[in-house]
Amino acid sequence: MKGIFRKAKTVLTPITPEFITGLMGDAKKDSIGRLVVGAIICNGDDKVLLLTRASGDFMPNIDELPSGKVEKDEELLVALKREIKEETSLDVSEVPFYIDQFDYSSKSGNKTRQFNFLVKVNQPASVTISEEHSAYAWVSQSESNKYKITDAILKCLSTFWESQAKESKEISKSMSFSGQ
């Protein structure tokens, strides 16, 4: 993986059309057969939304980000908004940042890449989950070890929480008085 994508692994990256084109180009070069989009949705208290997969589904009872397959000829951000609506009933207001990606083999054996984004939604308290999931929870960093989260999702969440901590420090630093 080269170029624009390599820069995006450890920091939150603002979304631009060129950046999205770079992600898609990298996936094509890497012979990825299936694309998936995932969302970190924060409720304003630094807690993120996790969905528990239904017991009869692929990877049963795993806690995951709202996510889903990108349909043929569908744009990544359009797919992201559609999947969030389908899985949570939430409406996306903004997709400000790309967080990370990971690759895995799907149930059918397809080489799959999941792109994860920070997503802002209208009314985060009004979650209604789809039949694909059995439960949902708003989870803080300190609570995350109580959930069945894959290493790839945990890494994504850690990147998000680290960026939140850095942002908080920067705000505090900028608000402190000089010379004290």
| Domain presence at residue 27 | yes
Quickly tell me which residue has 């624009």 as its tokens.
4
| Domain presence at residue 21 | yes
| Domain presence at residue 130 | yes
| Domain presence at residue 16 | yes
CATH of the domain at 107: 3.90.79.10
| Domain presence at residue 143 | yes
Domain count, the chain: 1
Among the residues of the chain, which ranges form H helices? 17-29, 76-88, 151-175
**pTM assigned to the model:** 0.86
- Domain span at 128: 3-162
| Domain presence at residue 152 | yes
Q: What does the DSSP 8-state code read for residue 141?
A: G
| Domain presence at residue 180 | no
Give the C-alpha separation, 139 to 108, whole Å: 30
Per-residue tens of pLDDT for the chain, all 180 residues: 232 333 334 468 999 999 999 999 999 999 999 999 999 999 888 899 999 999 877 778 899 999 999 999 999 999 999 999 999 999 999 999 999 999 998 888 889 999 999 999 998 888 999 999 999 999 999 999 999 999 999 999 999 998 887 766 554 454 454 444
| Domain presence at residue 100 | yes
What is residue 177's three-state secondary structure?
coil
For residue 60, what are its two tokens?
């049963």
